[in-house]
Amino acid sequence: MSSLMPANSGTSFAALLRLLRPQQWLKNGFVFVGLLFGHAWTDPAKLGQALAAFAAFCLLASTVYVMNDLVDREQDRLHPKKKSRPLAAGTVSVTAAVVLALLCLAAGSAVACLWAGSAPWIFLAYVALNVGYSFGLKHVVILDVFIIASGFMLRILAGTLGIGIAPSQWLLLCGLMLTLFLGFAKRRAELNALLSDSAGHRRVLEHYTVPMLDQFIGVAAAGTVISYALYTVSAETVALHGTRGLIATVPFVLYGVLRYLWRLHSRGGGGDPAQELLTDPHLLAATVGWLLLVLALLGGSIMPKP
């Protein structure tokens, strides 16, 4: 019964905000890929829909985070880092968490249906996928990471198909490989952090080994860089963007991937992509440099059209 009650008599706004994990909303930036590579950032209607999709995913993702913390609160108390989460630490009650999750679900669903484009099924699929993940699929080896990657792919689809932009097949492939890379890197970081007690904290980790994950990560990392490089030089891309210069952005992608691998192997990082990006100046510089160069090239400001 004590696990249902908060340690403190009151629930603070700060604790509720922590439960929503706003730092993770950065991941929802995947919805803007369509605007960037579809030359739609100057279209007010599509921009508004993409912003609504971003807001909907923020609310729905927070719903999922609260749900996960509710399900895993007892297990999180045994984790060296997760034990400080509001539900595990007892600073937010179960009742308050359930109410908060329902409010986020209702608000996110409303935004998705009313303003976030013409494909609300994408948001429904995201919620359904994560419910399945939380209640059993996260324990299925390899499939667990594919489900995480699917969540990112749904974000990309919401920002492309959902707002009337045809997605590039190469970019979809690149997005899949990138999210698999981040997912397997997360599992390796968890395995490293928890060592021999890993299976007791996340059951699926007992099915992974470091050499196995290193192979998976290598395949996904190579796939990310190669698929993106092929996208930049494809005839369809050159015709769409009117430039052959996108190949110049590949070094930023390669540097970012290699830097992430270095963080994973030498600095104990890789467990949280959003945190890695915000705390590592090299990753942040590579990302910003890539974005600025892409914008300059697509805008035709630094390289003549073919």
Under 8 Å CB-to-CB from 187, ≥6 apart: which residues? 144, 145, 204, 205, 208, 213
- 8-159: CATH architecture: Orthogonal Bundle (1.10)
Structure tokens at 8: 């403190």
Q: Tens digit of pLDDT for each residue in 16-70?
A: 999 999 988 988 999 999 898 888 888 999 999 999 999 999 999 999 999 988 8
**For residues 86 and 19, is the Cβ–Cβ distance under 8 A?**
yes
305 burial (CB, 10 Å; 0-12 / 13-18 / 19+) is exposed
Query: What is the chain's pLDDT, residue by residue, as a tens digit (306 residues)?
Result: 334 434 444 568 888 999 999 988 988 999 999 898 888 888 999 999 999 999 999 999 999 999 988 888 888 787 777 788 888 888 888 899 999 999 999 999 999 999 998 899 999 999 999 999 988 898 899 999 999 999 999 999 999 999 999 888 988 999 999 999 999 999 998 888 776 455 456 778 888 999 999 999 999 999 999 999 999 999 988 988 888 999 999 999 999 999 999 999 987 777 788 888 888 999 999 999 999 999 999 876 555 555
pLDDT score for 301: 55
Rounded to whole angstroms, how far apart are CA atoms 46 and 248?
28
